[in-house]
Homo-oligomer: A and B are copies of this chain.
Amino acid sequence: MTYAASMTESGDVDLLGALAYAELTAFLRMAEDASQLAPNLTDRAELGSLAVAEYGHFVLLRDRIAELGADPESAMAPFAEAFDAWHEQTKPGDWLQALVKAYVGLGIALDFYREAARHLEPSIAPLVEEVLADQGRSEFVVDRVRAALADDPTQAGRLALWARRLVGEGLSQAQQVAAARPQLARLLADADQADISRLFAQLTEEHGKRMAALGI
């Protein structure tokens, strides 16, 4: 195996490992938020169903990592600290914050899947399709947040601030991961710092569009 091939493979496993840990953690944290913050059993079940969909993605990613001959736990481990830190710094204080967090988190994850599909295809293509097909599941969040804002428009400022904090903390963790995992950064952004900045700028722009959809 050439050095270049081994590098690419390691970047692939890194990317799949990061996404796998992100999905596993999103599943567990969303379930926690649903349990602790949902105002009624229907909403609890709705956020629960989003969480379950995340677990499904985790399983696909874990199996793909194993197919590549890597150990899923080892592939995920380097990213645990960054994702755990993000979740610790962004514990929702109420149901609306939990909804916005779920929506923002899923949105950014989808952006990463799209990037991954550009760089890893065809190995990850069916997985990305399945994840994108699940996108509709988060639409209940848009309904709930818009309804809450219609009832009380003063919530918009608070939630907009919250969403910026979610992204800000996320980019800060991502910068650290990119520095620690150069193969991964190279895979996603063709190596130089300017490209990484461009990738982040694009994620931020997509995020802005999603916030407009929520009305915040």
Contact = CB atoms under 8 A, between A and B. Distances in A.
A40 to B, nearest CB: 6
Interface in A49-67: 49, 51-52, 55-56, 58-59, 62
Interface string A13-36: 000000001001101110110110
A80 B24 CA distance: 27
Contact of A34 (B28, B49, B62): B28
A207 interface: no
A31 B51 contact: yes
A31 B21 contact: no
Interface stretch (A69-77, A113-121, A130-138, A188-196): A69-77
Nearest to A24: B45
A42 interface: yes
Interface string A165-176: 000000000000
A158 to B, nearest CB: 26
A101 interface: no
Nearest to A55: B52
Interface of A: 21, 24-25, 27-29, 31-32, 34-35, 40-42, 44-45, 48-49, 51-52, 55-56, 58-59, 62, 72-73, 76-77, 80
13 contacts: A24-B41, A24-B44, A25-B35, A28-B32, A28-B44, A28-B48, A31-B31, A31-B35, A40-B73, A41-B73, A45-B58, A49-B55, A51-B55
